[in-house]
Amino acid sequence: MPPESITKRENDTFDLENGGPKPDITAASQKSTMSIRRTKGGKHLRWCRLRKEVEIKDSTSGLIRGSIAAPANTSESKKKGITTVKTILNDISGSASPGEILALMGPSGSGKTSMLDVLSGRSAYDGGTITLDGEVVTDRVMKKLKKRVAYVKQNDLFFGHLTVRDQLMYTAFLRLPSAWSKAQKIGEVDRIIKQLYSVLYTYLICNVSLIWSGLKLRLEKCADSSINMISGGEKKRVNIGSELLTDPSIIILDEPTSGLDSTSAVALMRILETLARDEQKTIITSIHQPSSAVFFAFDKLMLLADGNVVYFGTPEESLEHVKSLGLECPAGYNAADHHMDLLVVDSAIDDEHDATANHPEVDQGDTHGGLRRRKKSIERQVLSGTTTKQKLIDSWDHEAVAKQIEAANEDAFAKSHGVRQLSRQQSSFMMEKSFNSTWWTQYTVLVHRSLKNSRSAIFTTLNLVKAGAIGVMCGLMWFQMPYTEATVFDRSSYYFFSMTFWVFDSMFSAYMAFPLERSIIFKERSSGSYHLSAYFMAKTTSEAPARLVLPAMYMIISYWMSGVNNSFWIFIASTACSLLSVLAGESIGLFLGAAVLDVEKGMVIMTVTGLGLMAVGGFFVRTVPSWILWLGWLSPFKYSYNASVQLVFDEPVPCDGSGVLVGCEGLDTGYASESEILEFLGVQFSTGFNVAMLIVLFITVRIMAFFALKTKKADERM
Ligand SMILES: Nc1ncnc2c1ncn2[C@@H]1O[C@H](COP(=O)(O)OP(=O)(O)OP(=O)(O)O)[C@@H](O)[C@H]1O
């Protein structure tokens, strides 16, 4: 453990047990090189009779898993197509204390994630109470509290192009109090990187055989690698590290070891153990089938099945509990596997049971413990007409545990001499600022992050080659067009083609980038990292220039190769129009990405919208049917085409006898006026109006994207 020292953090009301007035943050900012004092000690988190139900919409397809509590037959629900209400947490009671690790185990779908979502404040619940150090946490306090609880979700969501250090650094700058100096924040990141490494290191010197695997895992070594390149175990550490930066008292982890090999999993559990033992953090983690060593290292175990608790207590006593039900764990068998065997009801097991019953000889020659155990497990499934799982659910005394939790809460109240100590904490939560950093800090940090991310995401060799190759290809297709009557149509088609390609490109890349980014934003915002407006402004200002470089590169190559118009200023002005249409296209992509959460549906809507806007752009169809004429007002293709063509035909076009323009009457003498050409090409409105409409589209659709994102509630499952 690093030595304790010196300054306290701003808003450190969470450390109520240490008491004391609000810390002096000025001192913190002045002594920028000082190390930061970490809070020791977690909180007693208790939950009693927690209940959560979800409405399952009848999609008329597929089966509904799990236990169905009651059909919802109200006319309202029928109208909405809701047919059933499923109980996913059924009167769950339990507790976690400082310095302890509570492990949640249960088969897939048993409600582990749902419970962690509720306890971390990321998801609402329909009944029961959650208390912190004995006092009920109200809904309003929960909203604030969730920013003080580290929640490491199953998915490690990051911007993959950033390095590990970047990720931790941006998190530190967004989530640590703005009163901290830059040096303090950087020091904190270094400390976290070292902490996640040194715990492992200590472990490794005691376990020489694991040194090689450990080296693979060290976070220090990969601190400057991009997240895309690091291993699953390292990603998990980055995830944990990002959450630990804020020095939370309660750490909740959803299957932190999933996808890791056993060595990495054990090493990760050591880190949690150290956090619990040395820093007295309260740790709750779900876990799938841990090894025996890890299983017995947990302080408490909660077994879940179909949203019900089937056991809550120490891992050792869990074996006694199942033994008392006649379900003893065979000698030498992994206790965690045994519990899972009891809880998993698998149709394959039933089939196997039938097969074994019909062919007893399969069993006779078997001397392997595996098959015997399997058979034993099968036999348990059919115990007296009920499944073992059901037996375990029925035999657990929910009420007794709930009463114990209530008594513990009363005890905490009595210990505080009848004073609701937490009221002070809860009211200080309410008074706390929603964000640790200012809007401006958030904006600048996010601009920096976005620039770094978009630079690596947009300026890939492939993208540069794409822009260059298409530029050369178009330059060759429209190569050095003479400025005469015969090329009027080709000149306008050059613009329409260029815009179509780049507007579609920006629409789709903005749309495709958004689903991943959206999940990260929801995750970061649920822990109170920044204002949505700061994110949006940062994204708009930082990514727009990056997004424009590739089309600009294309224009430079293709424009001069094709000789559209030899005026430099016409090149600048028409390129600016094309780039504006790219920004408008990006806005449309962002809007659809924000409004339609389903990626497949979004792609369909996007394709239909894009093609519709292009069709009414005035190039392919001159006489657009009146019922769809309104769509033309929303088409960036149309405005950009209109403006560019007007710019390019800046002087009368010499007739060349090709007979393209009626005004030339098939002669190769004389000129066709600009207005005649624009009429021939079906161009509408003035250049200024078209440019103004592109700006309006770019801004209004982007604002709509912001509100679409704002109104979308973060998906609990993200
Ligand atoms: N919003 C929801 N709508 C419908 N069903 C839901 C919703 N949230 C959870 N469920 C259902 O609740 C049950 C419990 O889900 P949960 O993700 O908590 O299980 P789990 O134990 O974490 O599973 P796993 O180990 O596979 O992650 C599942 O059957 C799931 O389908």
Any idea which residue has 């919802």 for tokens? 72
Nearest protein CA to atom 20 of ligand 1, as residue: 109
Q: Does the reported pTM lie above 0.80?
A: no
d(CA 46, CA 38): 24
Q: What is the whole-number distance in angstroms between the Cα of residue 289 and the centre of ligand 1?
A: 18
Residues 148 and 184 in one domain: yes
**Atom 17 in ligand 1: which residue has the minimum CA distance?**
113
Distances (CA, A) of 390 to 86, 333, 611, 699: 17, 23, 55, 58
**Last residue within a domain, chosen from 249, 270, 304:** 304
What pLDDT score was predicted for residue 696? 96
Question: Residues 130, 173: one domain?
Answer: yes
Q: Which domain holds residue 174?
A: 45-304
Of the candidate ranges 25-34, 340-349, 623-632, the one whose mean pLDDT is the lowest: 25-34
| Residue 429 confidence class, pLDDT cut points 50, 70, 90 | low
Q: Ligand 1: which of 113, 119, 126, 716 to mutate, most ligand atoms within 8 Å of CB?
A: 113
Tell whether 523 and 620 lie within a shared domain. Answer: yes
Residue 197: per-residue pLDDT? 60
Are 452 and 161 within 8 A, CB to CB? yes
CA of 110 to the centre of ligand 1 (A): 7
> Using CA atoms, how far apart are residues 178 and 330, in angstroms rounded to an integer?
57
Residue 227's pLDDT band, with cuts at 50, 70 and 90, is confident
Name the 3-class secondary structure at 651: coil
- Assess contact for 668 and 655: CB atoms under 8 A: yes
pLDDT value of residue 315: 93
Report the atom number in ligand 1 closest to the C-alpha of 110.
Answer: 21
Q: What is the mean pLDDT of the chain?
A: 78
Chain segment 243-298, per-residue pLDDT in tens: 888 888 899 999 888 877 777 778 788 888 888 888 888 999 999 878 888 888 89
| Domain-located, residue 461 | yes
Instruction: Compute, in angstroms, the gap from residue 115 CA to the centroid of ligand 1.
Output: 9
Same domain, 193 and 269: yes
Average pLDDT over residues 571-600: 91
CA distances from 271 to 240, 257, 276 (A): 10, 12, 9
Q: Beta strand 135-136 with 127-132: parallel, antiparallel or unpaired?
A: antiparallel
Q: Which atom of ligand 1 is nearest to the CA of 716?
A: 1
Distance CA 2, CA 432 (A): 28
Q: How far is the CA of 95 from the centre of ligand 1 (A)?
A: 21
Domain boundary among 258, 279, 304: 304
pLDDT of residue 432: 61
Asked if 482 contacts 191 with a C-beta cutoff of 8 angstroms, the reply is no
Query: Do 53 and 194 share a domain, yes or no?
Result: yes
Instruction: Enter the ipTM.
Output: 0.96
* Rounded Cα–Cα distance for residues 688 and 255 (Å): 58
Q: Which of 445-449, 511-515, 588-592, 678-682 has the lowest mean pLDDT?
A: 511-515
Evaluate if residue 205 carries a pLDDT over 70: no
Query: How many angstroms does the Cα of residue 717 sit away from the middle of ligand 1?
Result: 9
Name the strand (E) or helix (H) holding 458.
helix 439-458
In angstroms, what is the span from residue 341 Cα to ligand 1's centroid? 20
CB 105 within 8 A of CB 304: yes
Q: Give every strand in the sheet of 45-57, ordered side by side.
A: 68-71, 82-96, 45-57, 127-132, 135-136
The closest residue, in CA terms, to atom 18 on ligand 1 is 111
Q: What pLDDT score does 291 carry? A: 84
The pLDDT of residue 41 is: 65
Residue of 114, 287, 343, 344 best suited for mutating to test ligand 1, as the one with most atoms within 8 Å of CB = 114
* 54, 87, 346: residue to mutate for ligand 1 pocket, most atoms within 8 A of CB: 54
Instruction: Name the residue at shortest CA distance from atom 16 of ligand 1.
Output: 111
Q: What percent of the chain has pLDDT over 70?
A: 77
Ligand 1, atom 29, lies closest to the CA of 109
Listed residue (569, 462, 557, 558) closest to 509, CA to CA: 462
Nearest CA to ligand 1 atom 7: 54
pLDDT digits (tens, 9 = 90+) for 649-690: 989 999 998 888 888 888 888 999 989 999 888 888 899 999
Q: Is the dihedral of CA 648, 652, 658, 661 positive or negative?
A: positive
**Which residue out of 56, 83, 86 has the highest number of ligand 1 atoms within 8 Å of its CB and is therefore the one to mutate?**
86
Atom of ligand 1 nearest to the CA of 304: 21
Name every protein residue with a CB atom under 6 angstroms from any ligand 1 atom.
54, 56, 65-66, 88, 106, 108-114
Is residue 387 over pLDDT 50?
A: yes
Interval 110-126: pLDDT, tens: 999 999 999 988 888 89
Q: Does some domain include residue 718? A: no
Tell whether 334 is covered by a domain: yes
Establish if 37 belongs to a structural domain: no
Q: Quote the pLDDT of residue 517.
A: 83
**Phi, psi of 541, deg, nearest 5:** -75, -30
Integer Cα distance of 489 and 322 in angstroms:
83
**SS3 of 417-452:** CCCCHHHHHHHHHHHCCCCCCCHHHHHHHHHHHHHH
Residues 231 and 360 in one domain: no
pLDDT tens by residue, 85-101: 888 999 999 999 999 99
Q: Which atom of ligand 1 is nearest to the CA of 65?
A: 29
Residue whose CA is closest, atom 10 of ligand 1? 88
Query: Apex CA 485: angle with CA 660 and CA 570, to 5°?
Result: 135
Higher-pLDDT residue of 356 and 340 is: 340
Nearest CA to ligand 1 atom 26: 108
Q: What are phi and psi of 21, to 5 degrees?
A: -70, 175
| List of E strands, 295-434 | 300-305, 308-313
Residues 79 and 213 in one domain: yes
pLDDT tens digits along 154-174 = 888 888 888 888 888 999 999
Tell the residue nearest (CA) to atom 5 of ligand 1: 54
Q: Are residues 540 and 620 in the same domain?
A: yes
Percent of the chain with pLDDT over 90: 30
> CA 214 to CA 65: how far, in whole Å?
40
User: Which band of pLDDT confidence, cut at 50, 70 and 90, is reported for residue 380?
Assistant: low
pLDDT tens column, 489-548: 999 999 889 988 999 999 988 888 777 788 888 888 888 889 999 999 998 888 888 789
**In this structure, is residue 426 part of a structural domain?**
no
Backbone angles phi, psi at 106, to 5 degrees: 170, 160
State the distance from the centre of ligand 1 to the C-alpha of 153, rounded, in angstroms.
Answer: 14
In a domain, 418, yes or no: no
Rounded alpha-carbon distances, angstroms, from residue 130 to 56, 235, 264, 312: 26, 31, 33, 17
In the prediction, which pLDDT does 19 show?
Answer: 30
pLDDT of res. 220: 58
Higher per-residue pLDDT: 229 or 94:
94
Same domain for 369 and 290?
no
Cα–Cα distance between 53 and 91 in angstroms, integer?
A: 11
Confidence of residue 702 (pLDDT cuts 50, 70, 90): very high
123: left (phi over 0), alpha (psi -120 to 50) or beta: beta
190 C-alpha vs ligand 1 centroid, how far in Å?
37
Q: Is residue 420 part of a domain?
A: no
Q: Tell which wins on pLDDT, 430 or 2.
A: 430
The pair of three-digit structure tokens given for residue 632, joined into one six-digit string: 């033309």
Q: Are residues 250 and 363 both part of a single domain?
A: no
Q: Out of 32-46, 385-399, 438-452, which region has the weakest mean confidence (pLDDT)?
A: 32-46
| Residue 568: C-alpha distances to residues 107, 115, 548 (Å) | 68, 64, 19
Contact by Cβ (8 Å): 107, 303? no
Can you give the pLDDT at residue 216?
Answer: 41
Mean pLDDT confidence for 297-320: 93
CA 56 to ligand 1 center in whole angstroms: 12
Q: Average pLDDT of 416-430? A: 55
C-alpha 103/C-alpha 122 separation (Å) is: 19
Question: From ligand 1's centre to the CA of 435, what distance in Å?
Answer: 31
Q: Which atom of ligand 1 is nearest to the CA of 115?
A: 18
Q: Write down which residue in 304, 339, 371 finishes a domain.
A: 304
Q: What is the CATH number of the domain that holds 252?
A: 3.40.50.300
Q: Do residues 282 and 132 lie in contact, with contact meaning Cβ atoms separated by under 8 Å?
A: no
Distance (Å, rounded) from C-alpha 103 to C-alpha 297? 10
Give the pLDDT confidence score for residue 353 in this predicted structure.
47
**Same domain as 106, residue 141:** yes
Higher-scoring residue by pLDDT: 132, 41: 132
SS3 state of residue 312: strand
pLDDT attached to residue 663: 84
- Cα 128 from Cα 409, distance rounded (Å): 14
Check if the beta carbon of residue 250 is closer than 8 Å to that of residue 282. Answer: yes
Looking at the structure of the chain, the number of domains it has is 3
Residue 57 CA to ligand 1 center (angstroms) comes to 15
Closest ligand 1 atom to Cα of 154 = 27
Q: Domain for residue 434, yes or no?
A: no
Same domain, 590 and 450: yes
What's the gap in Å between 319 CA and the centre of ligand 1?
Answer: 27
Would the pLDDT of 374 be above 70? no
Distance (Å) from CA 85 to ligand 1 centroid: 13
pLDDT at residue 631, as a whole number: 85
